[in-house]
Amino acid sequence: MSDRVTGHYRIVRWQEEDVRAFVPNSLPPQAPRLHLDDEAKTLVAQATAALEKLAIAGDMVPDANWFLYGFARKEALVSSQIEGTQATLQDVLALEAGATLSNPRQAREVCNYIKAIEYARDEIARPNGLPISRQLLCEAHRRLMPDEDNKQPGEIRRSQNWIGGTRPGNAHFVPPPPDELTEALSSLERYIHATDDLPALVRAGLAHVQFETIHPFLDGNGRIGRLLITLLVEHWGLLRGPLLYVSVPFKQQQAEYYARLDGVRLRGDWEGWIKFFLRCVTSAAQDAVAAAQRLFRLTSGDLAKITAAPDATVSAVRLMQLLPRHPVITPTSVRQLLGASKPTVTKAIDFLCRQSVLRQIGSARRNRSYVYSSYMEILSADAAPGR
């Protein structure tokens, strides 16, 4: 492990107190340059191979959209769980289907994160859309917390923030003062668009830490910084879709995740972070492949079973085909999706309940909602709330 210096401290005044705010050096790591030893090289090779398998799994699914749909929602949820949300995947999907939740606030926040992910992907895919940039991340942030004016949605912070503790003076970490942010983010943006002979995955790992160290927003830095990883992996051509989501391994090893971020700042240990990050990428990619295969087997098996049932209706089969993209439904959402009458929809839902594909959520007599339960079970692996 090298003891390189990764930035400097600037003394800033915060309410009668002098505090040390950390200003990181620009990427890439210097003096010494990042050293990828044999172990790190093996980890790069393993992570790259795992991503290739994931790309193939993504191509195998007939309509990759439903696959992306579920995974993006899971990532939004788990990334928000790192932040502390108690919402479940079922809550999030139910809210999207228009179901009534007793306490929708946290699920709504996750839905906003989904909008931020979708927005950012659309922008970078659009011919004249924004590239991966400070502006893009700000716009994503605006969509993440649209109703929280006190958190300055879409804006780089104008005040000093801190991590841990009750004020900067007793904080665990004090990010750069606000007047350093424009330059720090521009420099990160330049690094992202410059050439560098480090492997792209390694560069994505460096960019994430740099973003977290800059901590440019009043809140939401973790979520936007994890979104940045997904965007970079796609941007640098490692995957053709946003299939890699690292929040599950980060959440499972949250203490190490945070300690590794500290290690970079305090000891210049970029190498230690990179190895941790690559292991997380491999694990996330392998889990995604396994989940995609299980989901694919489940949905094709269920579709075959439903189609073969003697009392199946055309609408029931059509609904079955829609479930991977809409694993939580309400009679109203199904009416809209199928453009069918109420009795037809009721019949289709009842049929899928009898076939144990759908299960009613809760015991409401009105505004009922239903879940494709075996699907939800697979997708929700490692996404239970609470720590």
Ligand X SMILES: Nc1ncnc2c1ncn2[C@@H]1O[C@H](COP(=O)(O)OP(=O)(O)O)[C@@H](O)[C@H]1O
Query: Is 370 an interacting residue with respect to ligand X (CB under 6 A)?
Result: no
Which of residues 163, 200, 298, 309 is near ligand X by CB under 6 A? Answer: 163
Closer to Mg ion at the Cβ: 83 or 262?
83
The full DSSP string for 201-229 is: HHHHHHHHHHHHHH--SSS-HHHHHHHHH
Query: Which pair of tokens denotes residue 37?
Result: 């030893």
| Distance in Å, CB of 213 to ligand X, minimum | 6
Which of residues 262, 283, 309, 337 is near ligand X by CB under 6 A? Answer: 262
Which of residues 97, 202, 261, 295 is near ligand X by CB under 6 A? Answer: 261
Helices (H) and strands (E) in the chain, counts: 15, 5
| Distance in Å, CB of 219 to ligand X, minimum | 5
Query: Is 25 an interacting residue with respect to ligand X (CB under 6 A)?
Result: no
The residue number whose beta carbon is nearest to Mg ion equals 219
What part of residues 171-210 is at the interface with ligand X (CB under 6 A)?
Answer: 172-173
Query: Is 220 an interacting residue with respect to ligand X (CB under 6 A)?
Result: yes
Q: Work out what residue 309 binds among ligand X, Mg ion, none; the CB cut-off runs from 5 to 8 Å by kind.
A: none
Separation CA 245–CA 254 (nearest Å): 15
Query: Is 225 an interacting residue with respect to ligand X (CB under 6 A)?
Result: yes
Q: Work out what residue 351 binds among Mg ion, ligand X, none; the CB cut-off runs from 5 to 8 Å by kind.
A: none
Closer to ligand X at the Cβ: 180 or 212?
212
Pairing of the two strands 7-14 and 358-361 = unpaired
Query: Is 219 an interacting residue with respect to Mg ion (CB under 5 A)?
Result: yes
Query: Is 82 an interacting residue with respect to ligand X (CB under 6 A)?
Result: yes
Query: Is 258 an interacting residue with respect to ligand X (CB under 6 A)?
Result: yes
198: left (phi over 0), alpha (psi -120 to 50) or beta: beta
Query: Which pair of tokens denotes residue 65?
Result: 């959209």
* Helix ranges (DSSP H) in 161-269: 181-193, 200-214, 221-235, 247-252, 254-267
Q: Work out what residue 212 binds among Mg ion, ligand X, none; the CB cut-off runs from 5 to 8 Å by kind.
A: ligand X
Burial of 236 (0-12, 13-18, 19+ CB in 10 A): middle
8-state DSSP, 356: T
Which of residues 4, 141, 223, 275 is near ligand X by CB under 6 A? Answer: 223
214: left (phi over 0), alpha (psi -120 to 50) or beta: alpha
Which of residues 96, 189, 212, 234 is near ligand X by CB under 6 A? Answer: 212
Closer to ligand X at the Cβ: 217 or 351?
217
CA 272 from chain center: how many Å? 23
**What element of type H or E holds 138?**
helix 134-144
Site residues (CB under 6 A) for ligand X?
82-83, 163, 172-173, 212-213, 219-223, 225, 258, 261-262
Contact footprint for Mg ion (CB under 5 A): 83, 219
